């Protein structure tokens, strides 16, 4: 089920809210959310809801086992449990990729490895990371294992963040599983946040999608202007698509009494790749930092070990995003520039005017997005050739020109979203004109978004396939 769909907006969410707020106790409220979350997932994945339920049971029992043991037995229980989680992720997400890679490698021997063609369960990368972080933090004794299966299920399956994050740590939500505060003010704030995220997704990201598609999927050897136009369009599309989903999830969390972590902090304003990863997909980058980079040694020890750790982390970060060599290379691309900055470029950028660092970081990110979006390396090389002028200046293909014509459809919502985001968090009383303008803009965004949803021109979230 999509947040930006009539079924969710007009049926599922109103009924869920009514049942939730009609429930008199926190246990009943949790029960409503668990049932709603399982229904939400089963709506699009009726078979794989059983997989998620099985993984929840396994991790619930594993956390209890880890909590009850000491020494080597405790560590063994952790290794087995995390191994089960990663094996499930590997089977469903990477089995086909491994088979295709082995077939290509063994082609001279005429060995053909059958592709299992296993469907990818929605959100498996996200709820697997929830399971692993829960087990790791239980092992580190940051909190005792939760003995309530309903509460553990709610943590793993909570529908606002189930499909595409943000990745929520158990410690940040544990207290809210047993006690939450609901007020009209919090509900109105959550609704406002949700509407802004909805506008980001359906009014901006979805309006930019045809332009990115025209360049990446339909243009042949795009020229300089066309290649840059398509790449910038995709950079904006993926940001407003993913940030829009995260914003909607955060808004829904506020309505239900949860505080989900912020996932983006204006990443395209970064003046280095190091800063970019402190601003982009924050919940993922901090997850890799805490559960992989630091255990590997972090920045302790000689410089070469720090560089190795960065490369390993971003190699796996790229692989986490997708079972394809383009994603692997995208991760290595960012890892390589992080190493370069750690090796000496970072201090140089810190002393230089910020515009120089911003230009450098934006160029690295944009060239990286080509790898992320292109269907294969040949397609990426074609776009890169256009971006550096090897395909000539050229004009715009017919499909690109047609996709560029309705530019006002996303420019106006973009201006409104940016205006709303710049308002102060607090207004000076009910008579403050900024409050009324803010309300008018938010309601206007809601009306435009609902019109877009009603027309059926919205699309699935990009991160659903990760």
Q: What is the pLDDT of residue 456?
A: 72
Over the chain (466 residues), the average pLDDT of each successive run of 10 is 85 95 94 94 86 94 92 91 94 90 81 83 90 94 92 94 86 90 90 91 88 88 90 94 92 93 93 96 94 92 93 95 92 97 93 96 97 93 93 73 68 74 60 74 86 75 63
Predicted pLDDT at 25: 93
User: Domains of the chain: which residue ranges?
Assistant: 6-180, 186-404
d(CA 218, CA 223): 13
Q: CB-based burial of residue 204 (10 Å sphere; 0-12 exposed, 13-18 middle, 19+ buried)?
A: buried
Q: What's the pLDDT at 112?
A: 80
Cα distance from N-terminal residue to C-terminal residue, the chain: 16
Query: Active site residue: 130, 281, 321, 334, which one?
Result: 321
Question: According to the model, what pLDDT value does residue 426 have?
Answer: 61
d(CA 84, CA 62): 10
Rounded distance between C-alpha atoms, residue 43 and residue 159, angstroms: 12
Separation of CA 342 from chain center = 26
Known catalytic residue at 408: no
pLDDT of the residue at 190: 93
pLDDT of residue 412: 74
- CA dist 368 and 134 (Å) reads 32
| Crossing angle for the helix pair 48-67 and 71-105, to the nearest 10 degrees | 150
Tokens 């970072």 found at: 346
The answer to whether 252 and 190 are in contact (CB under 8 A) is: yes
Report pLDDT for 185. Answer: 87
Q: How many residues does the chain have?
A: 466
What tokens were used for 193?
Answer: 């946040």
- At residue 429, the pLDDT reads 61
């Amino acid at each position: 089920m999509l947040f930006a769909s009539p079924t969710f907006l007009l049926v599922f969410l109103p009924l869920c809210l009514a049942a939730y707020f009609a429930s008199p106790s926190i246990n009943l409220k949790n029960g409503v959310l668990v049932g709603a979350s399982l229904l939400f997932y089963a709506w699009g994945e009726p078979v794989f809801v059983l997989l998620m339920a099985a993984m929840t049971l396994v991790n619930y029992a594993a956390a209890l086992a880890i909590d009850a043991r000491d020494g080597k037995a405790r560590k063994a229980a952790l290794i087995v449990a995390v191994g089960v989680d990663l094996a499930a992720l590997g089977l469903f997400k990477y089995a086909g990729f491994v088979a295709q890679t082995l077939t290509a490698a063994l082609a001279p021997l005429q060995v053909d490895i059958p592709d299992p063609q296993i469907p990818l369960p929605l959100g498996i990368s996200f709820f697997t990371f929830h399971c692993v972080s829960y087990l790791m933090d239980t092992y580190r004794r940051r909190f005792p294992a939760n003995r309530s299966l309903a509460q553990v299920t709610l943590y793993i399956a909570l529908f606002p963040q189930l499909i595409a994050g943000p990745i929520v740590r158990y410690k940040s939500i544990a207290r809210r599983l047993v006690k939450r505060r609901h007020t009209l003010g919090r509900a109105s704030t959550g609704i406002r946040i949700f509407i802004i995220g909805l506008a980001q997704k359906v009014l901006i990201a979805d309006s930019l999608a045809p332009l990115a598609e025209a360049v990446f999927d339909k243009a042949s050897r795009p020229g300089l202007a066309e290649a840059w136009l398509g790449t910038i369009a995709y950079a904006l599309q993926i940001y407003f698509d993913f940030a829009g989903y995260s914003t909607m999830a955060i808004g829904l969390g506020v309505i239900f009494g949860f505080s989900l972590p912020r996932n983006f902090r204006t990443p395209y304003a970064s003046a280095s790749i190091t800063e970019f990863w402190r601003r982009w997909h924050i919940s993922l980058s901090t997850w890799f930092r805490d559960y992989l980079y630091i255990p590997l040694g972090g920045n302790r020890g000689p410089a070469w070990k720090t560089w190795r750790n960065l490369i390993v982390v971003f190699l796996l970060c790229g692989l986490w995003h997708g079972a394809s060599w383009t994603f692997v290379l995208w991760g290595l691309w960012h890892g390589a520039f992080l190493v370069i900055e750690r090796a000496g470029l970072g201090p140089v950028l810190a002393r230089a005017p910020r515009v120089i660092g911003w230009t450098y970081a934006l160029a690295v990110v944009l060239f990286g997005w080509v790898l992320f979006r292109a269907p294969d390396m040949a397609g990426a090389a074609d776009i890169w050739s256009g971006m550096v002028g090897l395909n000539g200046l050229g004009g715009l293909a017919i499909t690109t020109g047609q996709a560029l014509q309705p530019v006002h459809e996303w420019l106006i919502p973009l201006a409104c979203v940016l205006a709303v985001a710049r308002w102060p968090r607090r207004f000076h009383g009910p008579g403050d004109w900024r409050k009324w303008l803010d309300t008018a803009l938010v309601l206007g965004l809601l009306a435009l978004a609902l019109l877009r949803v009603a027309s059926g021109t919205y699309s699935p979230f990009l991160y659903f396939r990760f």
